[in-house]
Amino acid sequence: MNSPTPATARISVVGAGPGGLTCARILQKHGIPVTVYDRDPHPGARNQGGTLDLHADDGQLALREAGLIDEFFRLARPEGQEMRQLDLAGHIVEHHMPAADDLFRPEIDRGQLRDLLLRSLEPTTVQWGRTLEKVEGRQLLFTDGTTVETDLVIGADGAFSRVRPAVSPAVPQYSGITFLEAWFQDVDNKHAELSALVGQGSATAADGDRAVFAQRNSGDHIRVYIIQQLPADWIAANGLSVGDTAGIRARLLDVFAEWSPVMRRMVSDNDGPYVDRPLFVLPVPHAWEHSATVTLLGDAAHLMPPLGVGANLAMLDACDLALALATSATVADAVRTYEKTMIPRSVAEARRLEHGAHGLLDRHDSDTTVLFGHTNDVS
């Protein structure tokens, strides 16, 4: 079958995250019809995660192409670029304060970014409550028994993509590093000590075996990521469950016993339960044979440690793919053009970050004050 022109093709994006929605927005901006399918029953079905720093040379570039950069800057928090490294007593050993006019990577909450993108799309672009089971040829097969005929499937459905098996046998592998997420609400009133410790951006501390990364979100909210090198099932292996907040808290207080009281409160004084987030990555390098009807972007294509590149790369992928579709004679030509740029770029980045998650545990003190990038791609 001949590949259709993008303007007449049935284009299906699976996944309504930053990458999938950015792709849909830029396609519509160029007059190309697209439908997005997402498993969530509605836009507010689940928390979208913490905050993202969108870089001027990738995430912001995509939003500029989408015609949304001005609205982004109205929502973004440039002050969120502040970064602190702390020792185990809570003293600042390295401090980066952004310049007043620094807009290279301002922060925005994931939920705010998603809402911004959703508002920009034509009504009914996103079909909610559509859980993909698999892709067969030009068909999307959903778990409710329905099918959709399509000319191009764009897998933007994250780490455990249901689209990826159509082009690649690769499966995510556990990195050996696990994050435990803790939420702190109304921090200026209820957690003033933590608020002062973190500042307007992020703060991190590590002792070589464990680490914490605290990050301010909008709405007087801070998320702390407790980072350890443990088996993926460490909670169950210790006779606990994810919902056993008291049990997990007691274990963390034991594990962090040598840290100062103020630093231990970062792992124990959270509001509500912990969220278990073991880190998975795709093999490096990850590539696949060209298909004229299926391609991938974001974590579906190149799942990496959460070191500030995931959402940015997903949005850059989305921009490149949408522009290739807008300027190519056929869908097959567009996919080939896109993958010639995206795959080498993602392989190079994945190699650079391959063992980066373990580096998060490196001790920071007055003798070792290397500031690492934002750890905010955990969703």
Instruction: Please give the pLDDT value at position 47.
Output: 84
Instruction: Please give the pLDDT value at position 292.
Output: 96
Distance, in Å, from the CA atom of 145 to the CA atom of 89, rounded to the nearest integer, reads 57
Q: Please, which residues have CB within 8 angstroms of residue 91's CB and are 6 or more apart in sequence?
A: none
Q: What is the pTM of this model?
A: 0.94
Over the stretch 248-273, which tens digit does the pLDDT of each residue have? 999 999 999 999 999 999 999 999 99
Residue 187 CB neighbour total at 10 angstroms: 22
3-class secondary structure, 64: helix
Q: Tokens 């929605």 map to which residue? A: 21
Which residue pairs from 1-5 have beta carbons closer than 8 angstroms and sit at least 24 positions apart in sequence? Answer: 2/330, 3/151, 3/292, 3/330, 3/331, 3/332, 3/333, 4/151, 4/330, 4/331, 5/329, 5/330, 5/331
70 is an annotated ligand-binding site residue: no
Instruction: Please give the pLDDT value at position 365.
Output: 52
Instruction: Please give the pLDDT value at position 357.
Output: 82
110 is an annotated ligand-binding site residue: yes
276 is an annotated ligand-binding site residue: no
Amino acid at 327: T
Instruction: Please give the pLDDT value at position 1.
Output: 67
- Has domain 6-82+105-172+282-354 been given CATH number 3.50.50.60? yes
3-class secondary structure, 11: strand
Instruction: Please give the pLDDT value at position 372.
Output: 37
Q: Are the C-beta atoms of residues 82 and 98 closer than 8 Å to each other?
A: yes
**Residue ranges of the chain with pLDDT lower than 50?**
366-375, 379
* Apex 49 CA angle, 159 and 106, nearest 5: 105
DSSP string, 116-148: HHHHHSPTT-EE-S--EEEEETTEEEETTS-EE
